[in-house]
Structure 1
Amino acid sequence: MLQYALPIQVDTIDLLTVNKVVKGRLDLMVLRHMACQLQLALLTTSQQVDMTKSPMVYELTERQSCLHRIVFYRSQVLHEQETLSFVGFVSGRQTGSDDILNEELSQADRHMLAKLTHIPGLLAYSSMELRPGRWYNLVMMQTLDVKANLKGIDMHQHAAYHLAPRAYDWIRIHSGIFPGGLAKNAPQLLKSKHYAFHHQTNNFQMHEIMY
């Protein structure tokens, strides 16, 4: 499932006072595993289908029946040994089930996947539910400038400002690079942000780390 990075608009943004554990290094281990699976899917799929078609969806089942979905947009660039950029989203869903909200998120997910096709520099997107309610998402791009185009999509703004604050207790966003490309699989973090939502006050707190 796609995760949405922008929190709701509020009058004040407080520094995170309770849980400042951003877990960047731990999250990076999972994101690196996802990058490895992405590369494996890239190599396997390229031998079976025409990878010039976009988007190309690939699904695999991880351990403990975790579904890992990978969408290739410009897979040919992923073969190159040049530095690539990435954004990793990690989120914790609120406890309890809201069927209406779940359906809204699913609809936003489907619409976003179609619109991402038109963003230059976007290479691939993968998502994996490591355990119930704990989503990891890896966005591969040529440069981090692509993030501005992602945020400009109307469906992204709707999901970020209206759906995510209702659906998640917290979101961690990691930005970084893959020196030497995907094949080397040695990601480096540049920046991490941790958002903790306060649903009763319609506010949130944020803690940021620069590496």
Structure 2
Amino acid sequence: MDTQLIEEVIHDEQIEIDVRNAQRDLIILKYMAWRLRSILYQLDQAEKQGSEQPLPRQVQERCGRNHRIVIYRQQELLQLRSFAFVGFISKRKGVLQPEVVEAIKQTDQKLVAELVHAPSILSYSSLELPGGDWCNLVVLADSGAKMHIKNSETHIHAAHHLAHDYYKWIRLHNGTMPEGLDPVEMRLLSTKYYTFHPDQQRPSLRERTYGTRQVKEIKTRASQ
């Protein structure tokens, strides 16, 4: 039996699975962008022109699922210009300690409050998915704004001290919105796939970039 051929088949199948997952995730992220745009257009004139930050909104989706939207820079979001975005979709572990669940909840609330002071963060949305998992969409003025989140002490604490005990896997998407909040034009640029293992403190990591016709795997390594 040709083991190299088997490995190539497995590798190709993994790419196909990754592409399908990314396409499904993008559909969810596009819906979240559409919902954000709808809420922006529903703001009254005072809210559109006002300086109050943030503007929190709560939407009840189908089956009673929650959709929390925090608008930080409403005037910028209404502009027809290019934005960047980060999409975060995850799967929780089957059995969770109550204190870990509460810590994740508190961390999310703290991060939302901290982002008020990051001028390039335009909005932060959290959509509850079937089964109790969540999808997050962060709209950014430019791709460099990702560093505001990555360097946040709250984010660092969650990544290093909470993620291993809470998540089974994470898909972290980076993308572009060349026509503003028009969801039709949203495009993925790259994805990081984190998988958490019981016997490893750090997750394994795969990264992929997306071209017009192909998906290119960058690397597979232990996360640092």
Give the alignment partner of residue 38 of structure 1, picking from 29, 32, 36. Answer: 36
Q: Distance in 1 between matches of 2:46 and 2:24?
A: 34
Deviations 1:108-132 (CA, angstroms, capped at 9, x unpaired): 1221111111112100000011112
Q: Distance in 2 between matches of 1:132 and 1:48?
A: 38
Match of 2:106 in 1: 107
SS at match of 2:94: coil
Native 8 Å contact 1:92 1:133 kept in 2: no
Deviations 1:94-146 (CA, angstroms, capped at 9, x unpaired): 11242111111122122111111111210000001111232111000011111
Q: Pairwise mapping of residues 1-211 of structure 1 onto structure 2 (< 5 A)?
A: 21-22=17-18, 23-47=21-45, 49=47, 51-183=50-182, 185-211=184-210
Native 8 Å contact 1:35 1:185 kept in 2: no
Match of 2:217 in 1: none
Deviations 1:25-79 (CA, angstroms, capped at 9, x unpaired): 1100000000000111111134574652101100001111110000000111111
Q: Distance in 1 between matches of 2:185 and 2:47?
A: 28
Native 8 Å contact 1:79 1:183 kept in 2: no
SS at match of 1:166: helix
Native 8 Å contact 1:39 1:182 kept in 2: yes
Q: Distance in 1 between matches of 2:75 and 2:52?
A: 11
**Percent pairwise identity:** 35
Aligned amino acid, residue 35 of structure 2: Q
Aligned amino acid, residue 139 of structure 1: V
SS at match of 2:185: coil
Structure scoring higher RCO (CA < 8 A, sep ≥ 6) equals 1
Structure 2 CA distance for partners of 1:43 and 1:210, relative to 1, 3 Å? same
SS at match of 2:129: strand
How much does 1:185 deviate? 4.0
Native 8 Å contact 1:194 1:206 kept in 2: yes
Aligned-residue CA RMSD in angstroms?
A: 2.0
Aligned amino acid, residue 128 of structure 1: L
Q: Which moved more, 1:183-192 or 1:101-110?
A: 183-192
Residue ranges of structure 2 left out of the alignment (5+ in a row): 1-10, 211-224
TM-score for the superposition, normalised by structure 2: 0.82
Q: Distance in 2 between matches of 1:88 and 1:40?
A: 19
Q: Distance in 2 between matches of 1:116 and 1:75?
A: 14
TM-score for the superposition, normalised by structure 1: 0.86
